[in-house]
């Protein structure tokens, strides 16, 4: 999850949000913290795209789909990428259950193989899956991903991984809000993770430390502003939401090159940071 990104799947606000009317109609139902401003969201999104382009990343745009909601801008969640192919999620959030089909259609169109899909009663979302290394994966078990979803993922990955670690997630603010494992942890380098330890199980935190991974802590005052949601485009080169200065300084103290974008419309209001907005599907 920290190797240099070569290809990434995204969805522009013009295709996910489409217009202000759709935003006004859907944002409350989807439990957004506020109504994104369509014009500013589109402009801010271009900051993120510009950064990806400057890093020579091949950008793939998921097309408009009338069966999906505003949430489809967060392309990370409807699938998991493995060495054997794409695993389609079965979304824990009911309003997002049409998204894996749209993702599958796009990957089929560019000849990226589909390995399988999580099926009901199993649920699993991409934001709960963290690859520790090429043969070890951690999966958060909470309101979006359940035990049966993790069992199915283990079966699908049986040729690709040696160990699947289940990480219990707390109730926190309840089932209506989005709490993924990656809400609390972002790999920055093979031996450096950004974390919010207050929401991590002791056993998992100790496991990471036991592997020689240094943990950079997100302060309490920058958790709600999504200071813990950071995308590594290559080892120790990241993009994060601006206005998280303490987290940024702590990363820079670890020789991390930090870039920022305005996430007020496309991230904060829909609870999806730069990791959520991107689905890398090829890294070196």
SS3 186: strand
Average pLDDT over residues 40-45: 98
Write the DSSP assignment of 52-82 as a string of letters: HHHTTPEEEEPPP-TTS-GGGG-TTTTEEEE
Structure tokens belonging to residue 242? 């601006």
What pLDDT does 174 receive?
86
103-121 pLDDT tens trace? 999 999 999 999 999 999 9
Per-residue DSSP letter, 200: S
Per-residue confidence band for 176, with pLDDT thresholds at 50, 70 and 90? confident
In this prediction, residue 33 has a pLDDT band, given cuts at 50, 70 and 90, of very high
| Residue 214 Cα distances to 194, 206, 232, angstroms | 9, 11, 16
Q: What is the pLDDT of residues 203-255, one digit of tens each?
A: 999 999 999 999 999 999 999 999 999 999 999 999 999 999 999 999 999 99
70 close to 22: Cβ distance less than 8 angstroms: yes
Within 10 Å of residue 1's Cβ, how many Cβ atoms? 21
**What domains can you pick out in the chain, each with its CATH number?**
5-115+174-283 (3.75.10.10)
Residues facing 45 on adjacent strands: none
C-alpha count within 13 angstroms, C-beta hemisphere, residue 262? 12
- What pLDDT is recorded for position 79? 98
Checking if the pLDDT of 268 tops 90, the result is yes
pLDDT band at 159 (very low <50, low <70, confident <90, very high): very high
Average confidence (pLDDT) over 15-31: 97
Average confidence score pLDDT of the chain? 97
């Amino acid at each position: 999850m920290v190797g240099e990104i070569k290809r990434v799947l995204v969805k522009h606000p013009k295709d996910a949000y489409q217009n202000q009317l759709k935003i006004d109609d859907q944002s409350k139902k989807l439990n957004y913290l506020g109504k994104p401003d369509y014009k500013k969201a589109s402009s801010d999104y271009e900051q993120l795209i510009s950064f990806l382009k400057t890093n020579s990343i091949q950008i793939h745009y998921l097309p408009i789909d009338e069966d999906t909601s505003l949430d489809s801008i967060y392309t990370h969640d409807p699938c998991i990428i493995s060495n054997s192919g794409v695993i389609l999620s079965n979304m824990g959030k009911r309003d997002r259950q049409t998204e894996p089909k749209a993702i599958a259609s796009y990957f089929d169109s560019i000849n990226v193989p589909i390995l399988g899909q999580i099926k009901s009663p199993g649920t699993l979302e991409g934001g709960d899956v963290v690859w520790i290394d090429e043969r070890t994966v951690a999966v958060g078990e909470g309101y979006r991903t359940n035990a049966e979803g993790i069992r199915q993922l283990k079966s699908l990955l049986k040729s690709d991984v040696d160990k699947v670690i289940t990480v219990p997630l707390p109730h926190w603010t309840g089932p209506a809000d989005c709490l993924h494992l990656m809400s609390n942890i972002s790999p920055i380098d093979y031996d450096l993770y950004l974390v919010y330890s207050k929401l991590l199980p002791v056993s998992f935190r100790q496991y990471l430390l036991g592997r020689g991974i240094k943990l950079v802590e997100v302060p309490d005052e920058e958790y709600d502003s999504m200071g813990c949601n950071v995308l590594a485009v290559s080892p120790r080169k990241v993009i994060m939401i601006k206005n998280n200065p303490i987290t940024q300084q702590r990363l820079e103290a670890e020789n991390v090159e930090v870039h920022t974008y305005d996430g007020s419309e496309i991230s904060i209001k829909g609870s999806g940071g730069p990791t959520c907005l991107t689905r890398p599907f090829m890294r070196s």
